[in-house]
Structure 1
Amino acid sequence: MRRLTSPSSSIDRGWSIVTLLAAFTSLFAFFFTFYSFGVLYNHLIVVYRQIDHNQTATSAANSSSLVEPGLCSFDDGDNLSGITAWIGSICIVLLSALSPVSDYLCRRLGYRIVIMIGSLLYGLGTSLTAAVTTSPWQGVLLYGVLGGVGGAGIYAPALSLIPLHFDKHLSLASGIAMSACFLGPAAGSPISQAVVDRFDSGGLAVLYGLMGLLSFGTAILIRPSSRYKKGDRRATEAKPEATNGVLAMFTSAKEHPRVIVWVFVMACEYTLIYITLVHMIRHAECALKSDTTTSSLLLTYLNLSTALGSVITGLVGRQVKSPIYLQMSLMIINGALAAFFPLYNSYALLAVFSVLFGLSASLVGLMPFVISFIMGARLAPHGVFLMTFVTGILAPLGPPLAGWMYDLFGNYQYSFVVTGLIVVLTATAEMGLEVILQKNRNRKEKERQEETINETAVRDSIVNIRETSL
């Protein structure tokens, strides 16, 4: 693993721990709404369909077709499942597409300012979506565009702080930070559903606004890392060509092409995760006839399992020779579980799937650690922004495609099976590549050791000859 040869004494302790807690809280508040989008998605479909029916109703017969909250509405034939899914997907796309800009602003303005501004924008976008939208396109503008711009200032900046503040405990710190990405929705899904049931859209708007303020408040605690240059606290100690300009993350990736392959493999995994988080609630309602509250608990099981697994993988990650082996092994298990999705034909089996899927999805908890393993700690922030950029462009295609497949076939099974198989194949290929690269690294290390031994033997021989001649 690449690491600093002489890390500062402030790394791994002191304000680094405070910064980890601040990043954890900002990520928790952000994902409280972001990964519980399945609850908002289901509610918005009902709201938009009721508004559409009310606008087009011309008789009592039309009025009788209204859809009540919590009911499966596949037979309405209005394709709202796929269209509404674009609200969250546009948010993810912008969150990712703006990663180069976010990376640049973090180096120019500082991580604290960027996260604070992002928190305000994201809280405003999500609140207005819940409160005032009457059509999917309004949701796209508010949640998708405004929320996406705000999210670009929270997610990747908060995660990219971790490699700058930790060295010896980077694996564990990565797991703790990533666990917030799942503890947030673990609390967000049931709380959001309870608020919707009791207070409708207005209560949900207030709740999302409070989460934005929580992220804003904790971002104040963030401080620059000692890995920043003395003369410029906003620029990291990497090569100038790797830190200057909006395209810095692409320049860094060019120096470490290995990270590009890994990022595309992770994009497949995130596609599967997004499909699960967005559509599993509705699958339980439509295919298993579960009520909305009971169905939303599935996301709680999944997210709590992933949060716990992220901390565990963080503890184990430092003990393995290559964290990529551990990550890809979990990814293969995760994809295989999804590939057998048609077998989960009861709520109990789907609950077991949620727990096992969440535990194996904890592979994402190793993300900052693996990037640091590949690129080195000082360039790792660029790797985090690159991963956010690529996965956010590709993975959001999953939920709309799954929504359209539901509109076409009446179930989500095909989406899970196909995506699960793709995840298994790509993870297997990535592990095979890592085996080859590890063998090459071992061979080069062995050659280097042999050269060192030979050089030492030659020096000793020269010294012996000189001593003998004297």
Structure 2
Amino acid sequence: MSPVGCGRAGGVLLAAFGIQFFIGVQVYGTGIIHLSLLDVFQRDDATTSVVGSLFVNLMSITGPLASYFIDRWSCRVTVLIGGVLLVVGLVTSSFVNSLWLLMVTNGIISGIGNGLTLLPCPVSVGYSFRDHSGLAMGIMTAGVGIGMLVSGPLIQYLLDTYGLSGTYLMSAAIVSHVIPCGMLLKTPPKKNLTPAATKHRVEFFKTYIKLVKAPSFMFVLVGSILWNIAYAVIMIHLPNFVVQNGSSRSEASFLFTVIGIGTILSRLTVGLATGPKGLDPLLLNFGLTALMGAVIVTFPLYVTYPKGPMIFASLYGIYSGGLLVFTVPLCLEFVGMQHLNSALGLWYLLLGLGSLIGPPLAGLVFDLTGSFDISYIFSGLFVLSAAACSLFASVWRKPENETRTTQRVPEIWAAAENGSVVVRDHEVHMKEQSENLISNDI
């Protein structure tokens, strides 16, 4: 890659890192805000958790919409639209005094803004770092880890100082920084990467039908639904769970700092491990998911011990943090560069559907039983099932990896100074998989 290309790629990675950080601060502060919502509105846990569940999970469910916007316009325009919606939703939430209206402002409007802001990050990084997508994803998602590290103490400080209304306003100011970061997400236009990109709008949605016909990819996607049920439960209900078992609110908020440290270390390590000629990302995904499930399912056994929540946070951060690193490498492996945008949109959609179920279900179980123990046991079992899905995907793809072929595809890079386009051939070694026959039908 030329110095100009390297500089542009570095700028994209830095901008994506920044977006992940600012979004991470708000998203991982949802559990702390949930406690405040319980105090302010005095509603049952299941109903109250819908606000945070919508906010967190519409971020993923809007994946196909964000994918369409990226394909129709660009990553920068998509982030701009998402950032505006995110800020408008949070500012409006500061003036709302009804839980049902908060479901619209903080849940739906800001949640959609989250999704439109987040998806362009892995898409732009995937386009810019083809041979080192794992490492680039590790660095980018470390931004989420740092955001998680500061989110608990920061959100708790804002709530103690400014109250719920003021916290929403301050949160809007914090996440507004995603807009200037998004303006740096300049990547080669998707339409120049493949002749198939001249498809019409109907063919854009037809791509999703083709994607679900890739068996190994679908196993991975089903697994992502399952582990995200537990991921969302912990994100929203962990503070309430540990407080119910004797921890203070400050101790509960500090757990996200501990998780954040673990996720940073995990994401950077996994990113390095999945580089060229590195470890198999699918088998790494299986191992981390299995360990994450084991930690969650056993948490009720030691949550009441003084150091129990801290031990859980440390292990959970390490084992869960690396899972998002695999999104781009696995999408590139199963469906190729030309369908990266659509594959990530579908992946994020299913992530959201899984995690949308988790928090209200856990809240309902708590309302019926007065304990989160059963919710955590079932959440852990969901994650162990997700690990099994990754294993099945690995077995299914095994005969597909025995042969390889080398193809020549055009690589387009826009010159930074004058906007001209330089075309050069780039050898790409692609695994010969039945999933990649998608491109022959589009």
Measure how far apart 1:444 and its partner are: 4.7
CA 1:376–1:24 in structure 2 vs 1: closer, same or farther (change >3 Å)? same
- What is the one-letter code of the residue matched to 1:430? S
Q: Which segments of 5 or more consecutive residues in structure 1 lack a partner in the other structure?
A: 1-7, 50-77, 231-235, 447-470
Q: Which residue of 1 aligns with 2:268?
A: 311
Q: Which residue of 2 aligns with 1:150?
A: 113
Measure how far apart 1:392 and its partner are: 0.6
Question: What is the rounded CA distance, in whole Å, between the counterparts of 2:251 and 2:212 in structure 1?
Answer: 47
Q: Which residue of 2 aligns with 1:24?
A: 17
Q: Given that residues 11 and 167 in structure 1 are in contact (C-alpha distance below 8 angstroms), is that contact kept between their aligned partners in structure 2? A: no
Question: What is the rounded CA distance, in whole Å, between the counterparts of 1:140 and 1:210 in structure 2?
Answer: 20
Q: Which residue of 1 aligns with 2:329?
A: 369
**Structure 1 position 302 matched with structure 2 position 259:** yes
**Structure 1 position 389 matched with structure 2 position 349:** yes
User: What count of residue pairs does the alignment treat as equivalent?
Assistant: 401
Q: Write out per-residue CA displacement over residues 385-440 of structure 1, whole angstroms, 9 at most, x where no aligned residue.
A: 111111112221101111111111111111111121121133124214413422x1
SS at match of 1:247: helix
**TM-score scaled by structure 1?**
0.80
SS at match of 1:134: coil
Measure how far apart 1:35 and its partner are: 2.1
Measure how far apart 1:304 and its partner are: 2.0
Q: Given that residues 284 and 347 in structure 1 are in contact (C-alpha distance below 8 angstroms), is that contact kept between their aligned partners in structure 2? A: no
Question: What is the rounded CA distance, in whole Å, between the counterparts of 1:161 and 1:352 in structure 2?
Answer: 36
SS at match of 1:224: coil
Question: What is the rounded CA distance, in whole Å, between the counterparts of 1:256 and 1:139 in structure 2?
Answer: 39
CA 1:239–1:11 in structure 2 vs 1: closer, same or farther (change >3 Å)? farther
Please point out which of 141, 144, 147 is paired with 2:104. 141
**TM-score scaled by structure 2?**
0.85
- What is the one-letter code of the residue matched to 1:13? C
Q: Which residue of 2 aligns with 1:74?
A: none
**Structure 1 position 437 matched with structure 2 position 365:** no
- 5 Å-filtered alignment, 1:63-82, equals 78-79=43-44, 81-82=45-46
**Structure 1 position 128 matched with structure 2 position 92:** yes
Q: Given that residues 228 and 355 in structure 2 are in contact (C-alpha distance below 8 angstroms), is that contact kept between their aligned partners in structure 1? A: yes
Please point out which of 281, 284, 306 is paired with 2:242. 284
Q: Which residue of 1 aligns with 2:77?
A: 113
SS at match of 2:97: coil
Residue identity over aligned pairs, in percent, reads 21
- 5 Å-filtered alignment, 1:299-378, equals 299-318=256-275, 319-344=277-302, 345-361=304-320, 362-378=322-338
SS at match of 1:132: coil
Question: What is the rounded CA distance, in whole Å, between the counterparts of 1:309 and 1:216 in structure 2?
Answer: 28
Q: Write out per-residue CA displacement over residues 310-343 of structure 1, whole angstroms, 9 at most, x where no aligned residue.
A: 1110001124452100111000000011111122
CA 1:238–1:84 in structure 2 vs 1: closer, same or farther (change >3 Å)? farther
Q: Which segments of 5 or more consecutive residues in structure 2 lack a partner in the other structure?
A: 406-442
- What is the one-letter code of the residue matched to 2:163? D
CA 1:100–1:10 in structure 2 vs 1: closer, same or farther (change >3 Å)? farther
Question: What is the rounded CA distance, in whole Å, between the counterparts of 1:278 and 1:327 in structure 2?
Answer: 24
Please point out which of 167, 178, 187 is paired with 1:224. 187
- What is the one-letter code of the residue matched to 1:334? M
Question: What is the rounded CA distance, in whole Å, between the counterparts of 2:117 and 2:305 in structure 1?
Answer: 38
Question: What is the rounded CA distance, in whole Å, between the counterparts of 1:237 and 1:369 in structure 2?
Answer: 19
Measure how far apart 1:181 and its partner are: 2.2
Question: What is the rounded CA distance, in whole Å, between the counterparts of 2:185 and 2:125 in structure 1?
Answer: 11
Question: What is the rounded CA distance, in whole Å, between the counterparts of 2:200 and 2:295 in structure 1?
Answer: 40
Q: Which residue of 2 aligns with 1:412?
A: 372
CA 1:171–1:437 in structure 2 vs 1: closer, same or farther (change >3 Å)? same
Question: What is the rounded CA distance, in whole Å, between the counterparts of 1:409 and 1:10 in structure 2?
Answer: 61
Q: Which residue of 2 aligns with 1:96?
A: 60
Question: What is the rounded CA distance, in whole Å, between the counterparts of 2:139 and 2:29 in structure 1?
Answer: 20
Q: Which residue of 1 aligns with 2:226?
A: 268
SS at match of 1:379: helix
SS at match of 1:154: helix
Measure how far apart 1:99 and its partner are: 2.4
> How well do the aligned residues superpose, as a CA RMSD in angstroms?
2.3
- What is the one-letter code of the residue matched to 1:380? L
Question: What is the rounded CA distance, in whole Å, between the counterparts of 1:217 and 1:143 in structure 2?
Answer: 22
Question: What is the rounded CA distance, in whole Å, between the counterparts of 1:252 and 1:117 in structure 2?
Answer: 28
Measure how far apart 1:127 and its partner are: 3.3
Q: Which residue of 1 aligns with 2:381?
A: 421
- What is the one-letter code of the residue matched to 1:350? P
- Write 1 or 2 for the structure with the bigger share of strand: 2
SS at match of 2:68: helix
Q: Which residue of 2 aligns with 1:59?
A: none
CA 1:429–1:252 in structure 2 vs 1: closer, same or farther (change >3 Å)? closer
Q: Which residue of 2 aligns with 1:34?
A: 27
Q: Which has the larger radius of gyration?
A: 1
- 5 Å-filtered alignment, 1:164-243, equals 164-225=127-188, 228-230=190-192, 236-237=193-194, 239-240=196-197
Q: Given that residues 219 and 389 in structure 2 are in contact (C-alpha distance below 8 angstroms), is that contact kept between their aligned partners in structure 1? A: no
**Structure 1 position 400 matched with structure 2 position 360:** yes
Question: What is the rounded CA distance, in whole Å, between the counterparts of 1:293 and 1:186 in structure 2?
Answer: 14
